[in-house]
Structure 1
């Protein structure tokens, strides 16, 4: 029998890892297929021989970490390994700037860049990812490259910051930073079972952290996913997938045998393995996911024509500030020490015209770069005239001593002269720029190969401005500015490829909706950089993960049935979603576990509580037919006693459940959020809809008895959890009248409204109708 699971996740980068963890945590069966291998601490390549094999091309026997793509005007560097790009990225977790979520921003060749999600939509998910990844600003205050960037930014009038990094600098949260100290395991454990050590400031982040100080996805989301039962399969490369007639998807993949590493292999002849699933989540990166969709387009009739569009390199530029000088230093050298610290420790932000305040053009970031210590030896050895001169002077001195028979036996000074002052390595710094380039690139197939159609002209002003800032930094530090040689040939290089299967509001605008679900193919999701409809501007990893986390809220809260799998591309109706907003207000107290008593105490102390929620049923027919009548809830709660306005991380709403009593119905609310100190909380509330003496339908449907518990609780966890607060909140009449204006269907459907209305009013009649005169 063919293997079947709830979800297959393809790729283990910032989208795939988040999806695998969230679905496994929610009790779904998950298989994650990663083409690369595991990289536990200590396994990353360091020697020249190891580096020569550290590339990805299984046909040539290469099963390594780096996968290099080369197109006509662009080169791209991505990763192949369990943990995806997190294995080689520079750890930066910056949020996309609020004003850079553009709406219908025109593009030079026609069309526009449009983000159907906002910063507010992503805020709770940014919070969740930062907690999981252990985000913390660089803590050391005397690192020379960090201080060089800070000082130069101040002198040039630029905004500077220490961005959050996914790096562990201290053994435990709150402890002072210590290099090379043991790291305590997380509650979900350590998938490798090997010790990890805090950051040694060795600059090796981009070639893999052999200490495990880097909080890469294998040490965080994937370890947690495995803890919750996810099946993580390495060396499994997906080749094909297709929808199944009865719903769900079949996935075909090949397995790269570890014994084939180092040997040329006819990978096209590898036997296929097959697995079926209810949901298929593509997280193979902008290149990998778009390539899979293009290769399998014949199996996806009616796929949006936007596939391949909105490609962007996130405005990436890599350049170098060389041989910095300081006239006030005794030797004229400005010490920067690019090999000291993690790769990136600080960031300069240059504003965008969207920011206002007189700024013009497209905004960007410039960040300090770093490199391993051994790279400094290579840099110094590459300076042939200086190396030859020092070697000649050393040899001449030794010959003179030999012939003169000098008794001097200490030659330390001569050896120091042979090594040299290391001016170039000590006074140089890579700088990485990224920002809002124009996302008008197109990914297409040329034969069986991926191709990028890209022009440098539309983003020329952006790149000129970015390089201008880099040159200003070089001048301020007394350094030479050096671009990559490929820049002279008008070739770009990116480590942040984005787009290819962009999100949009409808199939003519995007390949996927705002939750990553492919239009016309329910259950098929894109949750990686391919989904983004334009550049993030800042380092994109955090935004990719936050978008995936938001999508997982929707996936988890939406049961998938055969009806939901139907598509208009195959002649069956697409599900219609229905949404509305609800606002309730009241009082709570910590002194009581009884909601009524809690409301009385809260009122006496003026301890107010409210929530503002958007309730969404993704499929009205399914919502009405399912006895649980479950929908998702997003929004925020607000309570000064708990920390102010607090985003809902994930939420569920159940309408008119029977709960074993045919004489009454209940409406249930379950909201996960965190208090002001970051502690997890769960609100569980109910409305009791039953016929008591008198006309009580308004009171029953507008009064919520609620309890706030410690922790993020799933059904069945409630009884043992500590109670934090309790109370009662209600819908006020003006808020109810506003609520009536917020009902929406997508796509617009009068029949969906009618079916929901019949269900709602019919249930009320079942409960209260018998009390009316016959």
Structure 2
């Protein structure tokens, strides 16, 4: 049988890029289908106000790389681009505590605490992980606050995928490839502009298009941008033993109606992000293309129990200086807080921010919030008025990303909404996710009093009792059998051959830290078990 590729990879994020390189190294022909666009340093938007080039909503003509999806339980922030979420993520690459391997659906499937350190080391080397060297004003304030609350010993500079150059050299200096013995692209040292999450325009961020994916393309992997996978079907009605027929279409507005194509491949790696992978597998199971997908699909979706809060300050305190997430500390055993920032001028996300209010979740908290706003406007009008507007948000706001390792999850299902019976969509179910972390909120209030600012939070938490996360995980998690999970400990989809999941969907527990490094390491683990291609 003639094949177009040995392996077709759906998505080019952390799982997809790792898979592309490792399979290409083993002699396989590889095609990568990415529904987002390819970005270069000179084509990225200068600020987030350039909505058309920042936001990803192709059906209304927005072809950027940042996306927001709202569910009944949570609002998810994620990325779409060649390089996946690495284009818009905050560079933070942390190893979770060993205890996460003893929790959740993957517990006991492998001797994880012995197996994973080697893969984490490989992932760190490939992503250029190093300690943050640029302590901005926000990081200094966070360090002082950690010391004041008796947790100064837990303060750390983040481990990040950023190139800082040689000590003592001018920022922004150009260097030959510093990572891969000259096989990678030239790099520039970081200038500390805070622009990591709106795309690094200064060639210092170690996004996947500069390491894994870059090297994969040099070894022959082909990346097809603005291409969406709409069907994956085993050849000859089998379970994938003879391969798959994959149908793609353009992700451009109206483009999918005209440009469809079918590919024959030996194997498929689904790496479309946790949400994208779940949605695709649900569709394929529903239409009968992959009917054997486990009923565990969509179960135990986790969010790191996150909360976004902050403190807004008057004047120009330069909260935008530094890297996107430069430092953090542990408020207690289960809760850690990171100092986060956007670059000067990128204030569009400020529409989501409002005054932080006490009170319990539910409609009564709305009235508490309204009283808080009224009191602030009457007693501190010069401080409170800017809080209601997004302008100057980046340079004035000390943003805290709070995460917890406590267990908690929701379920996603693929069904019709009562008010729109014409098509199905992902919907969330289960117990409500906590919309705020009380001890983190108190930390923000105390910080605001200490430095003369106003504490803030995300408006969806107040008005709709819905938290925000940038770390959607699980939904096609590992398990011992199809009754426990969607894939096994080596990423293989139960019920099929040569079909893998390698992205955030495979995670089996709340990590409590940014998940990108763990996804990379687990993808290395999965790819390590695929043997090299044998000569014909």
Distance in 1, Cα, partners of 2:468 & 2:348: 25
Does the aligned pair in 2 maintain the 1:73–1:492 contact within 8 Å?
A: yes
**Corresponding residue SS for 2:197:** helix
Aligned residue for 1:481?
455
Residues 454 and 148 of structure 1, relative CA distance in 2, 3 Å threshold: farther
Does the aligned pair in 2 maintain the 1:189–1:227 contact within 8 Å?
A: no
Aligned residue for 1:233?
224
**Corresponding residue SS for 2:54:** coil
Distance in 1, Cα, partners of 2:459 & 2:349: 18
Does residue 301 of structure 1 match 2:275?
A: no
**Aligned counterparts, 1:203-222, within 5 A:** 203-222=194-213
TM-fit CA distance, 1:237? 0.9
Which range moved further: 89-98 or 243-252?
A: 243-252
CA-to-aligned-CA distance 1:320-350 (integer Å, 9 cap, x gap): 11228xxxxxxxx9x8521101111101124
Does residue 517 of structure 1 match 2:492?
A: yes
Aligned residue for 1:494?
469
TM-fit CA distance, 1:446? 2.2
**Corresponding residue SS for 1:452:** strand
Does residue 442 of structure 1 match 2:395?
A: no
CA-to-aligned-CA distance 1:656-681 (integer Å, 9 cap, x gap): xxxxxxxxxxxxxxxxxxxxxxxxxx
Distance in 2, Cα, partners of 1:427 & 1:61: 31
Aligned residue for 1:431?
400
TM-fit CA distance, 1:289? 0.5
TM-fit CA distance, 1:75? 1.5
Distance in 2, Cα, partners of 1:99 & 1:47: 40
Aligned residue for 2:254?
265
Aligned residue for 2:335?
364
TM-fit CA distance, 1:91? 0.3
CA RMSD of aligned residues (A): 3.2
**Corresponding residue SS for 1:345:** strand
Aligned residue for 1:137?
131
* Structure having the higher Rg: 1
CA-to-aligned-CA distance 1:565-588 (integer Å, 9 cap, x gap): xxxxxxxxxxxxxxxxxxxxxxxx
Does residue 274 of structure 1 match 2:267?
A: no
TM-fit CA distance, 1:70? 1.6
TM-fit CA distance, 1:247? 1.8
Residues 27 and 559 of structure 1, relative CA distance in 2, 3 Å threshold: closer
TM-fit CA distance, 1:426? 5.8
Of 124, 148, 157, which residue of structure 2 is paired with 1:155?
A: 148
Distance in 1, Cα, partners of 2:55 & 2:169: 34
**Corresponding residue SS for 2:24:** helix
Distance in 2, Cα, partners of 1:102 & 1:459: 23
TM-fit CA distance, 1:50? 3.3
Aligned residue for 1:347?
328
TM-fit CA distance, 1:450? 3.1
TM-fit CA distance, 1:102? 3.0
Does the aligned pair in 1 maintain the 2:269–2:499 contact within 8 Å?
A: yes
Give the number of equivalent residue pairs: 486
- TM-score, normalising length from structure 2? 0.83
Unaligned regions of 5+ residues in structure 2, if any?
355-376, 386-390, 417-422
Unaligned regions of 5+ residues in structure 1, if any?
105-111, 325-332, 353-362, 390-421, 562-774
**Corresponding residue SS for 1:31:** strand
Residues 2 and 46 of structure 1, relative CA distance in 2, 3 Å threshold: farther
Residues 219 and 114 of structure 1, relative CA distance in 2, 3 Å threshold: same
Which range moved further: 81-90 or 65-74?
A: 65-74
**Corresponding residue SS for 2:12:** coil
TM-fit CA distance, 1:51? 2.4
TM-fit CA distance, 1:129? 0.8
Aligned residue for 1:93?
93
**Corresponding residue SS for 2:50:** helix
TM-fit CA distance, 1:29? 1.1
TM-fit CA distance, 1:484? 1.1
Distance in 2, Cα, partners of 1:518 & 1:423: 47
CA-to-aligned-CA distance 1:71-101 (integer Å, 9 cap, x gap): 2232212111111000001100100111232
Distance in 2, Cα, partners of 1:55 & 1:423: 20
Aligned residue for 2:521?
546
Does the aligned pair in 1 maintain the 2:158–2:327 contact within 8 Å?
A: yes
Residues 255 and 169 of structure 1, relative CA distance in 2, 3 Å threshold: same
Residues 178 and 288 of structure 1, relative CA distance in 2, 3 Å threshold: same
**Corresponding residue SS for 1:374:** coil
Which range moved further: 438-447 or 473-482?
A: 473-482
Aligned residue for 2:44?
44
- TM-score, normalising length from structure 1? 0.58
Aligned residue for 1:467?
441
Aligned residue for 1:169?
164
Distance in 2, Cα, partners of 1:559 & 1:156: 60
TM-fit CA distance, 1:375? 4.3
Does the aligned pair in 2 maintain the 1:41–1:196 contact within 8 Å?
A: no
Aligned residue for 2:174?
182
